Structure 1
């Protein structure tokens, strides 16, 4: 006859079993942890950066985020040569160098990189001054050399679905039981491979890696992509690299003929632990004539429709979503080009009074979102800064303030924006930078994002059994399961 729960618990036959620990071991399979994401967007007006340009304010480095998403528009002039012939990737290399310099400043303060070697060699000379180091860094830089900013490709996984993680755990367990493979048990068995022509520029296996003394960076580049003037890169804290999976890239051209890359977007999809993220950097249709906002709405709709990330694993359900809107957390940044639906004269009066709230009531993006015509389900933080476009070069004056010709005037507007979608994400700050480098001001935001992680302590037989009679029976199981979690 079966005993009741109370009788079983009080039975001398199982005296010594710690039932509270068994209950504890049945904890949820996942836990939630919060990560900080810094996002920045800047239309740089077709200008290549100078070596002394400081991006620390642009990236909000002082806040020390876990992930940095850096989006640029017009890193090259949008002329026929760049749009129709071949992309100039030298400016992209310069921006990567400056981003790495800002994020990994202590390392760069004592390091001199020379990019004039065909083998990607780096020179080290602590006696060189800042000017000479910057000169070498910017002397004909190439993306092939600067690819060394990327994280170690062997640490990036194709898939980090729960089923795949369990498969890797079983593989490790089998290896641990085989004495021949014990020395190799700590190696990662699932390596990152290129899987789409869309991100072919992300992985270059023939490039020599940095010496060990130079690889200890705080942040590693995990993905980057250029489409004419649009350039997007994602950097993560080095400790997070092994937990990044499902890394994919896609781009959509919406420029000339509705196809070319002078306008459009780049999207990067990834998962961190068990949560999927999508970062979209776009440059939408320009123009401040009445009705131009509809072109921008159409660009957004086409981007959402046409962006499709390649399939990379067969697990069901799989975290590797194929569409933008299917991701758990989405952040959309860029020069969205929405204007203020007021005359130049009306806008100027409100600008002088710094009446941002009244101006924002006539902001086209706000009006189109409220009408349900674009960015359905997306949110934007409160804007408490001046319009970011259009400034006179190297000036704090808006273009048109000192000219008589109405053709040269541009009504100031908040063209540069950052929006997000999804639960478990909160915007902590939303500001603009004050660099005079471009006719746009950069815009930055910091987010707190919840990430779902597998709870590796959830194991029924890890601890809690002190009964001498049961000890031998469970010895093999305990030893095998303990070894599984030791590294």
Structure 2
């Protein structure tokens, strides 16, 4: 059910507008990034999408300490700083990014940014050696510095409201809690804004140096969602001018690892609305293994994620149709290390690899086989694969690890483990490719999409604004029950002649 269905069924309430979404997934093999890591193979500097959805797997080693004891937040903080540096690079750097000889001003800007990045990473490293509580508060501080000041509004209900009172009680702002939030939060937001401005001028709460640009006014992209579950880490960045149209922001985590519930495997899902269209982004790391039958464990992970994922209800009324399950959203994009392998022996796989015969290899791709059989991702879409398998590489090498491994037991047949799929109308994939960074034993996989979003037209916006004002006035007026009863009695009493 589209959010626009909350509007009265009058013609031309909404129009559609295209937005560009960039989605990327990368299993980084438990390695924390350094300040020198170049993200151009993960975040192309010439992309300029409206929304960036970035998912990682294994941002920490999947050892017993990280899975069972405590979550290491240091790598997540490092990735946030690097991503911000890439997305919010100064304009002069963007303009000259492909020049072989940068101008002095660009070189100077790059030098300042590099110095700031080094300082950020140095502070993160110092914090990681202190208590875990302080480490978590440090990550929270970094995260807040990239988020909009009024970030709490992202989680609020922003559904349209009808002019007629009988209609608005079935709309989202008919929910007293949601409407009260919009009134009560203004003072809180003002206080938060003052605090943030103070931090921008005097440094952040922990004295960290965040890479330029350092103030929110200079950010082209705001971080709106950021969540870690052991090794899975997802971030969503939105163009500054679109942030005001984001609502109903929620996250959900499902563990599918040890004992079928721990977070070394599983997913993080992000639900949100943009204008009148609902989105769900799922970043997952499914069951590993290349033995025959392991693909059914991955199928089971997908089915359980779809069954168990439940987003909290922001609008408390029983008639609410804001999506709570993954498949209820208008647009859904699923990405991550899905771990599906190629159902061929190593010798045959190597032969097709040498020939760059992707079509022959793809015919034996487990995910394709399972989808064709209707056992998983039925009704979903995936772009044509024109790139080599993304796993498993030797570190800092273009050679597959299988070429240097003598033990057949440890040999991993190359496979397209890292994938992006989508579901919903009005989604067109513009590109589907892999990056060539040697940082990990996986190559990153990226996709860009043009997505149709329903937007209230000018007349509908005016009706919504008027309805909001009318509801606000009526809610604030005192109700005199005795007066109502008196009116009722006078209407029913006989006339005295």
Q: Do the structures match in fold with TM over 0.5? A: yes
Distance of aligned partners of 1:74 and 1:192 in 2 relative to their CA distance in 1, 3 Å threshold = farther
Matched, 1:257 2:256: no
Question: The residue matched to 1:93 in structure 2 has which SS?
Answer: helix
TM-score, normalised to structure 2, is 0.74
Aligned twin of 1:144? 140
Matched, 1:366 2:353: no
For structure 2, list consecutive stretches of 5 or more residues without a partner in the other structure. Answer: 1-9, 95-107, 125-137, 169-181, 202-213, 471-497
Distance of aligned partners of 1:33 and 1:192 in 2 relative to their CA distance in 1, 3 Å threshold = farther
Aligned twin of 2:23? 39
TM-score, normalised to structure 1, is 0.76
Q: CA deviation at 1:100?
A: 0.6
Where do residues 250-399 of structure 1 align in structure 2 (5 Å cutoff)? 250-314=252-316, 318=320, 320-399=322-401
Where do residues 195-210 of structure 1 align in structure 2 (5 Å cutoff)? 208-209=196-197
Q: CA deviation at 1:408?
A: 2.5
* Contact 1:276-1:327 within 8 A present in 2 as well: yes
* Contact 2:25-2:54 within 8 A present in 1 as well: yes
Structure 2 CA distance for aligned equivalents of residues 401 and 436 of structure 1: 16
Question: The residue matched to 2:409 in structure 1 has which SS?
Answer: helix
Greater shift in the superposed pair: 427-436 or 26-35: 26-35
Aligned twin of 1:88? 72
Q: CA deviation at 1:161?
A: 1.2
* Contact 1:90-1:140 within 8 A present in 2 as well: no
Aligned twin of 1:18? none
Structure 2 CA distance for aligned equivalents of residues 222 and 263 of structure 1: 24
Structure 2 CA distance for aligned equivalents of residues 421 and 163 of structure 1: 28
Aligned twin of 1:98? 82
* Contact 1:391-1:399 within 8 A present in 2 as well: yes
Q: How many residues align?
A: 397
* Contact 1:161-1:315 within 8 A present in 2 as well: no
Matched, 1:132 2:115: yes
Greater shift in the superposed pair: 393-402 or 79-88: 393-402
Q: CA deviation at 1:304?
A: 0.3
Q: CA deviation at 1:61?
A: 3.8
Structure 2 CA distance for aligned equivalents of residues 420 and 127 of structure 1: 37
Aligned twin of 1:215? 216
Which of 161, 176, 179 lines up with 1:163 in the alignment? 161
Q: CA deviation at 1:133?
A: 2.2
Distance of aligned partners of 1:109 and 1:427 in 2 relative to their CA distance in 1, 3 Å threshold = closer
* Contact 1:274-1:319 within 8 A present in 2 as well: no
Which of 51, 55, 69 lines up with 1:67 in the alignment? 51
Q: CA deviation at 1:135?
A: 1.9
Distance of aligned partners of 1:127 and 1:256 in 2 relative to their CA distance in 1, 3 Å threshold = closer
Structure 1 CA distance for aligned equivalents of residues 342 and 41 of structure 2: 27
Structure 1 CA distance for aligned equivalents of residues 187 and 233 of structure 2: 22
Aligned twin of 1:444? 446
Aligned twin of 1:248? 250
Aligned twin of 2:38? 54
Deviations 1:43-77 (A, max 9, x none): 00000001121223312341211000000000000
Structure 2 CA distance for aligned equivalents of residues 369 and 458 of structure 1: 41
Structure 2 CA distance for aligned equivalents of residues 100 and 301 of structure 1: 34
Q: CA deviation at 1:144?
A: 2.4
Deviations 1:201-238 (A, max 9, x none): xxx99974553871121000001100000000100000
Structure 1 CA distance for aligned equivalents of residues 317 and 19 of structure 2: 26
* Contact 1:277-1:329 within 8 A present in 2 as well: yes
Q: CA deviation at 1:346?
A: 0.5
Structural RMSD (CA): 3.0
* Contact 2:283-2:334 within 8 A present in 1 as well: yes
Distance of aligned partners of 1:304 and 1:405 in 2 relative to their CA distance in 1, 3 Å threshold = same
* Contact 1:157-1:190 within 8 A present in 2 as well: no
Distance of aligned partners of 1:277 and 1:342 in 2 relative to their CA distance in 1, 3 Å threshold = same
Q: CA deviation at 1:139?
A: 1.7
Deviations 1:104-142 (A, max 9, x none): 0007979xxxxxxxxxxxxxx989755532221102423
* Contact 1:393-1:439 within 8 A present in 2 as well: yes
Structure 1 CA distance for aligned equivalents of residues 300 and 265 of structure 2: 12
* Contact 1:157-1:242 within 8 A present in 2 as well: no
Question: The residue matched to 2:118 in structure 1 has which SS?
Answer: helix
Structure 2 CA distance for aligned equivalents of residues 192 and 256 of structure 1: 44
Question: The residue matched to 1:139 in structure 2 has which SS?
Answer: helix
* Contact 2:20-2:448 within 8 A present in 1 as well: yes
For structure 1, list consecutive stretches of 5 or more residues without a partner in the other structure. Answer: 1-25, 111-124, 171-187, 195-203, 462-476, 482-487
Which of 4, 10, 14 lines up with 1:30 in the alignment? 14
Question: The residue matched to 1:62 in structure 2 has which SS?
Answer: coil
Q: CA deviation at 1:191?
A: 4.8
* Contact 1:158-1:193 within 8 A present in 2 as well: no
Structure 1 CA distance for aligned equivalents of residues 385 and 163 of structure 2: 42
Question: The residue matched to 1:312 in structure 2 has which SS?
Answer: coil
Question: The residue matched to 2:241 in structure 1 has which SS?
Answer: helix
Question: The residue matched to 2:42 in structure 1 has which SS?
Answer: helix
